[in-house]
Structure 1
Amino acid sequence: MRVFRGFDALPHFTRPAVTVGSYDGVHLGHRALIERLVAEARARGGESIVVTFDPHPRVTLGRAEGLRLLTTPEEKAALLEGLGVDNLIVIPFDRTFSALSGREFVERYLVGRLGAEVLVAGYNHRFGHDRCHCDALPADSLKIVQVGECVVDGHHVSSTVIRRLLDAGDITEAERLLGHPLKINPQPKDS
């Protein structure tokens, strides 16, 4: 897997299928989405691209109090590579970047810079400071694939749910929803 930092000096990508998110934990819900991403890319003879952020957006936006990151950037990259992702783009998430609207982000960066042909997103994913839903994105220039909710034995799988399980001391259940063993990571610092 190739790893890039930011949108500068990127190569030309072949028929890219793209997904965007923090992907903290690369849990079972993320895995379902990544598997769909890789399948979409392979079906069209293209490349899969995961766009993620560092630091976590909640840190930049001053909402990181109590945030327990489930993976370091290096662990996240290793987990994504293990799922067959071709390219990882890590966006330095700062206040300027956080001010982009969802449509502007998709048009300028995903379509404009990456040449995205397919966008794979979770059922509840929102883009940009205006929390733009996939339904409001330009479907004429981009095929949009939404992946449904992941539920395991009645548990909605999300990074937030896993963090709550860890806070309650239920490491076994947290690891089951992660789909891999947990490593203890340091808490992020507010910026």
Structure 2
Amino acid sequence: MKIHKDVESFKKIEKAVVTTGTFDGVHLGHGKILNTLIDVGERTNSETVIITFFPHPRLVLFPDHDLKLINTIDENIELFKTYGVDHLIFQKFDKDFSRITSLEYIRDILCKKIGLTDLVIGYNHHFGRNREGSINNLHEYTDLYGFDIHEVLPFKLNGHSVSSTKIRNAINDGELELANNYLGYSFKLSGEVIQGRGVGLSIGFPTANIKIENKNKIIPLKGVYAVNVYYNQNRFGGMLNIGTNPTFKGNKLSIEVHIFDFNQDIYNQTLQIEFCKRIRNEKKFNTVDELKQQLSMDKIAALNNLD
């Protein structure tokens, strides 16, 4: 897959099957669109193109809404690669770009700069100024600009359509199993191990404190989770706490993971955390012994919920 930093750096191709969108999470609904993209490309002997936007349009248009995203750009790129797409183009999204009409987007970008011959689009996708463009508008342009439309119906899981919004809501509510089902893979966080207060080590459960660099990355609900930890191409089981350590009168949110059967110095190293299941709420304990007893029970629960 060739990655293009913007539309201007893309060399127009003869036959392009294109899909466009934000694709936050690259979930099962997106997967249905991307599989259709690949299928149309193979049937028409065309190159496949994804155009996605950076930053996320809602971060530009509604900066006060504090939108958190399922995936970082790098995480999305790795997922796009698994589909075998030929080209990934990042379109810078700013106020100026938001003002172009759906006609200008189709004519001046997709047709003139990309080489659009087939457009793969979700049933409820909107684009252009004020989201004026829809599947209905597109049919007005097909004969004029010589391309075909391939509408993709929603992907449904147990009768429910899959969307990025539903997945974000599930993560915010700590429903990681539901989020993972909708994603088609396990939700992940990556971050650098930083120095903590050493409380975990003092009570027999040493933890790695994780610093998440991307301020727009969604963080699950406070609580204790069963997780897999990836480090140096190896996978380890673990249990992770998101919270403020109320037993020790903490007031700052932290992400700490206790890695099972692990004894390495990993300060300043990057860990990838894969969330499997939420075990319980964060709780303030009356004594350290009560906390230690609960952590022993949490470990058993985590082990029972790991692959």
Scaled by the length of structure 2, what TM-score is found?
A: 0.59
2:119 is matched with which residue?
Answer: 119
1:165 is matched with which residue?
Answer: 170
Alpha-carbon distance between aligned partners in 1 of 2:130 and 2:148, rounded to the nearest angstrom: 21
Residues matched between the structures, number = 189
Structure 1 stretches of 5 or more lacking a match? none
Counting only pairs closer than 5 Å after superposition, residues 10-29 of structure 1 correspond to structure 2 as 10-29=10-29
Contact 1:69 1:187 survives alignment (8 Å): no
Counting only pairs closer than 5 Å after superposition, residues 52-63 of structure 1 correspond to structure 2 as 52-63=52-63
2:42 is matched with which residue?
Answer: 42
What do the CA deviations read for 1:119-171 (whole angstroms, capped 9, x no partner)?
00000001111421122120112101110011101222000000111111101
Counting only pairs closer than 5 Å after superposition, residues 173-184 of structure 1 correspond to structure 2 as 173-184=178-189
1:90 is matched with which residue?
Answer: 90
Alpha-carbon distance between aligned partners in 2 of 1:26 and 1:120, rounded to the nearest angstrom: 15
Larger mean Cα displacement after TM superposition, 20-29 or 55-64: 55-64
Q: Secondary structure at the match of 1:49?
A: strand
Please say which structure displays the higher CA radius of gyration: 2
Alpha-carbon distance between aligned partners in 2 of 1:31 and 1:25, rounded to the nearest angstrom: 10
Higher relative contact order (CA 8 A, sep 6+): 1
1:134 is matched with which residue?
Answer: 135
Q: Secondary structure at the match of 2:174?
A: coil
Q: Partner letter of residue 151 of structure 1?
A: K
Q: Secondary structure at the match of 1:127?
A: coil
Alpha-carbon distance between aligned partners in 2 of 1:12 and 1:113, rounded to the nearest angstrom: 5
Q: Partner letter of residue 119 of structure 1?
A: L
Scaled by the length of structure 1, what TM-score is found?
A: 0.94
Structure 2 stretches of 5 or more lacking a match? 190-211, 218-307
Name whichever structure is richer in strand by fraction. 2
Q: Secondary structure at the match of 1:24?
A: coil
Contact 1:49 1:88 survives alignment (8 Å): yes
Q: Partner letter of residue 120 of structure 2?
A: V
Contact 1:58 1:64 survives alignment (8 Å): no
